[in-house]
Amino acid sequence: MLKWYEVKEQAAGHKRLMLLWYIYNIAGKNAVKFIVFFVTLFAFIGAPKIRKCSQKYLNIASGNGSIFHSFRHFLNYSYGLVDKMEMFTDKFSFKNISFADEDVKKILYDDLLKKRGIYFLCSHLGNINAMRTFFRSGEVIDDIKVNLFLEANQCKIFKDFINKISSDNPITAYPVENIDVTTSIELKDKLDSGEILFIAGDRVSAHNKDAVFKHNFLGHNVFFPLGAFKFALILGAPVYFIVCTAEKGGNYKIHLKKFEFEGRRKEKLQQLEKQYVEFLEDLTKKYPLQFYHFYDFFNI
């Protein structure tokens, strides 16, 4: 089976990405999306293994694993990268972002205003980078410090490109490869002082493949990274599940759920795992073309 860390980056190369950035500044977003369409088409044709994984996933998630549907899956991902480019240069408007549930939005705002550190369990569904626009908008408070975990060696070309064009970036990134006791203490202190942390809960670590739990997802057994969930309980901050989905008209919607459960540690961990997977599964069914795992996600 093809693992996510075995998938080679399909980026166009640093110089070509910079060329797209210049075209964006001269001709606008639609011109870039026109070019990206054809770049994606060539990448789609030249990546049979990844295409096969996409079709298998789509057949399970939506019952439609056709070539056309798979290409739309690839194209949505590529267009999401164009949006990410805008988000990291502060050219994406907060007016284009809304919340799926106003009640949960109020709970989040209350936690942020109280300077309570927040542990966001995100995923590779949608485009979590929309939250950068939210935090930089000053909608709640204008001094939010953000921390996140990243795989240092994944999508390196695109990450380097984003870092080069990005506006001032108040984000501290931690390589997941280097998590240790010192990291835990540092992040505990940060969360206690009101900072926030993002960590993906849907991709098994390439460096700790056995630290997993198995859960039913879309009717199949899937492995999830145990560390992301244990870490949430260790740090003791409020935990939110979060997904940001692309909508019509270039808009994004923030889906949130605050995890609340009283019980023993083992029961709490089991509930955290269960509720997260159910949250992710529900939104994957609604947005199957925005679940960006181009590898053998299912253990079949």
DSSP state of 149: E
CA-nearest of 38, 142, 43 to 94 is 142
> What gap in Å lies between CA 173 and CA 166, rounded to an integer?
14
pLDDT at 271 over 60: yes
For residue 170, what pLDDT is reported?
A: 62
Interval 198-244: pLDDT, tens: 999 998 876 666 788 999 999 999 999 998 999 999 998 999 999 99
Contact 28, 172 (CB under 8 A): no
Q: What is the pLDDT of residues 126-176, one digit of tens each?
A: 999 999 899 888 888 777 888 888 765 555 666 666 667 676 666 777 777
Does 60 or 176 have the greater pLDDT score? 60
The whole-number pLDDT of residue 139 equals 83
What is the structure's pLDDT at 158? 60
Q: Given this model, what pLDDT does residue 4 score?
A: 37
The β-bridge partners of 148 are 173, 198
Q: In the block, which residue shows the tokens 């991902």? A: 77
Q: Distance of CA 232 to CAs 117, 129, 144, 236, Å?
A: 12, 21, 19, 6
Confidence tier at 262 by pLDDT (50, 70, 90): confident
| Percent with pLDDT over 70 in the chain | 86
